Structure formats: C-alpha cells, structure tokens
Amino acid sequence: MTYSELYWSITAKLEAAGFESAGFDASCLFERFAGIPRGHLALKKKDTVSPETIKTIEESAERRANGYPLQYIIGEWDFLSLTLYVGEGVLIPRCDTELLCEVAAERLKAINHPRVLDLCAGSGCVGLGIASLCAGAKVTAVELSERALGYLKRNCAKYPEFDVTPVKADVLKDSAAFEGGYDAILSNPPYIPTDHLEHLMREVKHEPNMALDGGDGLAFYRAIVQGWLPLLKKGGICGVEIGIGQSEEVVELFKSAGLVGVEIFRDIGDIERVIIGVKDKKGNDR
C-alpha cells in the first residue's frame, strides 16, 4: 500500500464516522506515526508504507473514528508557540484559551518580571503560555489532580527557559497557604454545570470530569474572587476564561469583589470567552 492509498483510506474512514476535519486528522496521524509533517505527504505519496506503520495508523484511526480525542492519540498538542504533552487525565489545550494569555500579556507588558498565579493549571498551557509571551515572568501553576499534575510537571520540564513552578493545591480551599504579591491571577477553571456534563460531545467526555465540572458553573469563579483576590497586588489583573452565557454573572462577581475596569473579550467565533478586571487601588492585599 502506498502512502496516498493509506491516506485516502483513513480519510474515508473518518469521514464515514462523521468527522468534518477528516483530512486534517489523518494528516496529524501520519505526522505522528509515520514522521511525515503535515503538508509534505504529497512528496511521498507513491512510496510504499511498511506493514508496521499501516497497522499503527489504522489502529489509531479506528480509535479516532470511535470518538477518542485526536490530541490524546497523538500525545501532544500545540498552544501558542508551545507543543505540550497531553493525555487522559488532563484537559486538552484549546485555542480559546490562547486569548486569555494574549490579553493578559498585553496588560503585563509594562511590568518587569511579573509574578503570575495560574489557577486550575492542568497541562500548564496558561502558565507556560503567559511565560512565553512575557519575558521574565515568574509563574506559580496550581493544580490538584495528580494525573494532570504529572503533565504539568512534564511540560514545565520541557520548557526550562520559562520560570513556571507547579504546585499541588485545591483552588476551592487552599488560598490561605499562599503569600500575596501577584501582578496577575489567571484561570481557565472548570465551568460546565454538573447537569450539563452528560450532554457534552463524545470526545469531550473522555476529558477528566474534574477539569470540566463547575458545580453550578460558577463555583470556581466565586472561589477565585473570595479566596485568591487578596493575593493580587493593587492595580493587578484578574483574568478568567468563561463558558457560553456566563459573562453577565462572572462580570457581576468581579465587580462585587471590587474589581474595576472589567472587560469582556470575544474569541474567534465571536463568543464572549475571557473576562479581565483590575484590582482597585483601595483593595485589600495579603
């Protein structure tokens, strides 16, 4: 079998399974398991594929056709300029979250060596992302899940040029164990209401409930403003990713907590996705 024949066979299989991105997914599988970069497949289309490679790609395509996340099959995923390790037990980095890093980095650009707190860090995409955009940033990345913490540590070790320190702690109750003085508190917390979890897409259901389940949808936002805002410097920023339809309630939480200049930012799909507020100069520090 040639690479061309195998590629079209895999693409047809994924299309039949209902994947609109079948060609892209197939290209990713070829890059991971055949070592052919996306876009370069045409150069080898007439070459014969080894039986071992055919078996590996076909088995991976079968898993994908059954709804298993492409990112978990590959074992890593791009985020901003980074390529992060991912797998079962950690939330998959998404381009929506890049917006949080980009907006926060713009706010922090005038600060030398900003101190940043990344809550519900997961793979470390926010903490490492902000460190990649803000030279000299010193980031504390907080994660509770042991499995996610493993990926967080691996990703921090992969990028030693960034000062990101993984810390195991519970965002819902452990804020008192941390000292203040942060220029930014950032988070992509669990925000899906518990009763919505059963209706998620089949791929998302493979991701850890712990990273998705937000109780009533606002539990972690309340914990952030109640327990963690005192760690923020006066004039510092608090930024969070939000789910669809949550902007009004999260904005109200921010304003009620004394944050000022609260802004909403829309993602590439024109969905309200990120909220940023500034700690009033009169706010309380810890």
So where are the chain's domains?
3-66, 79-279
Q: Look at residue 203 in the predicted model and tell me its pLDDT.
A: 86
pLDDT band at 85 (very low <50, low <70, confident <90, very high): very high
Determine the average pLDDT of the residues in 107-132: 97
- pTM tops 0.85, yes or no: yes
pLDDT at 184 over 60: yes
Q: From the options 2.60.40.420, 3.40.50.150, 3.60.21.10, 3.90.1150.10, give the CATH code of 79-279.
A: 3.40.50.150
Q: Look at residue 282 in the predicted model and tell me its pLDDT.
A: 67
| Cα angle for residues 86, 90, 91 (degrees, 5° grid) | 95
**Contact in structure between 250 and 219 (CB atoms under 8 Å):** no
Write out pLDDT tens, residues 26-35: 999 999 999 9
- Distance separating the N- and C-terminal Cα atoms of the chain: 65
Q: Look at residue 125 in the predicted model and tell me its pLDDT.
A: 98
